[in-house]
Amino acid sequence: MKSRWLSNLVLLILVAGLGAYFLLRPAPVERAQKKHEISALKLASFNKIRVEFPSKAPLVFEKINNYWRMMQPQPARADQMLVQRLLSIVAATSTEKFPATDLARFGLDSPRLKLKLDNEEFLFGNFNPVSSEQYMLYKNAVYLLPYTYAEVASVQPVEFIDKNPLAQSEKIAGFDFSHLEQWQESLLQVDLVKGKWISSANAKLSQNDMNEWFEGNWKNVSVISVEPYTPNHRIVSPSFEVKLADGRKVHFDKLQESPEVILGRPDEGLSYHLPADAGFALLNPPVSIAK
């Protein structure tokens, strides 16, 4: 009996000791993977971007008056956020860094993609079969990066076109809807003068309703897609004009209203595709016409 009691006491002491060890031992230090910065370049320091592919025309962008424009293959205002994603390569980091030797091993002797930011060049090669990341060469080192950096450069050129029918610098001061079928009889025009909406003599409007219409439809136009547009001067399309604060006017042709609304902007050679309901709302301000 005494020996059993002693055995239990010894076991109790062992259990208590192990418990105290696990409770009081220092927490294990996790070794963080070292991250290699690709560059010390700044996103805002570039004025030209060129994306080259082995078998198709290059993409070229230039920054003009602090806004990016696509110069090739289709001159157009560029989607500013998408261009910033191209530039984000300069802030990338990688957990893997290799010397720039035996480039064929990484598929960098014949790159899949070349991204040039001014005079800086980034080359994209093969994919790592284990991590599915892509090898990228910059200066004298090869890095492994997520595919997203090359993916954004590989989208169709039309996706880089700004989907807003008006440039950020084009401030709206009014609309001339008099050449649209529904407003031809009334010759409807609405103007924003010192923060208030006014209209042609026979149209009545509410300031609140007009502000809601303008904010909800023209401040964030619901464009589905953008395509090149060449006007057919033998056909007279319904049209309207957007009046700008600097006195200029932007002309739009209404090319289609169903099953989607298509608006053509001749001066930029682009057409904008909108859902039918959004397009209808865009061209129909909340006014009532006195008979």
Report the 10 Å Cβ neighbour count for 260.
15
Q: Mention every residue, 6+ apart, whose C-beta is less than 8 A from residue 274.
A: 221, 222, 223, 224, 260, 261, 262, 263, 282
For residue range 274-287, list pLDDT tens digits in order: 999 999 999 999 99
Mean pLDDT computed over 252-272: 96
Amino acid at 28: P
What gap in Å lies between CA 181 and CA 201, rounded to an integer? 19
Reading the block at residue 219, the tokens are 């401040």
CB 57 within 8 A of CB 64: no
Report the 10 Å Cβ neighbour count for 62.
16
The Cβ-side half-sphere exposure at 55, using a 13 Å CA radius, reads: 1
For residue range 200-223, list pLDDT tens digits in order: 877 899 999 999 999 999 998 989
Range(s) within the chain of domains with CATH label 2.60.40 = 36-160
pLDDT computed for residue 20 by the predictor: 46
For residue range 37-88, list pLDDT tens digits in order: 999 999 888 999 999 999 889 999 999 999 999 999 999 999 999 999 999 9
**Given the structure tokens 């290799």, which residue do they identify?**
98
Helices and strands (DSSP H and E) totals, the chain: 5, 21
Longest CA–CA span in the chain (Å) reads 115
What gap in Å lies between CA 76 and CA 68, rounded to an integer? 9
CATH 3.90.930 fits 36-160, yes or no: no
Q: Mention every residue, 6+ apart, whose C-beta is less than 8 A from residue 118.
A: 45, 46, 47, 48
pTM of the predicted model, to two decimals? Answer: 0.80
SS3 212: helix
